[in-house]
Amino acid sequence: MRDEFLKSLGINQQEFEKKYKIDLQLFLDAVSLGLEDEEISDLLGYNIEKVTQVRKKLDDVSSSLGLNHDKNLTTSRDKNLNSH
């Protein structure tokens, strides 16, 4: 889902991370948890201006992105079932 989200915005993850010097995965994880910009800034160690700028570049992304935006939610039990 994250790739679809970034593609819909015309964003290349590697270029975006290099330009803004952020870990986009961590940023999107924090956003998906519903954290506010100040909380993301404190948690990830980015200044508030950078967090605000990145969120705007991501079309003011919010927690509606969802907790499973980039998660492989397959459990170890599922893996064991598939290996038989």
pLDDT tens digits, one per residue of 36-78 = 999 999 999 999 999 999 999 998 887 765 544 444 444 444 4
Residue 11 pLDDT exceeds 80 = yes
Model pLDDT, residue 72: 44
Residue 59's domain comprises: 2-82
Q: What is the pTM of this model?
A: 0.71
Number of neighbours of residue 83 by Cβ within 10 angstroms: 6
Total number of domains in the chain: 1
Report the run of H or E that residue 32 belongs to, with start and end.
helix 24-32
Model pLDDT, residue 38: 95
What are the tokens at 57? Answer: 């570049």
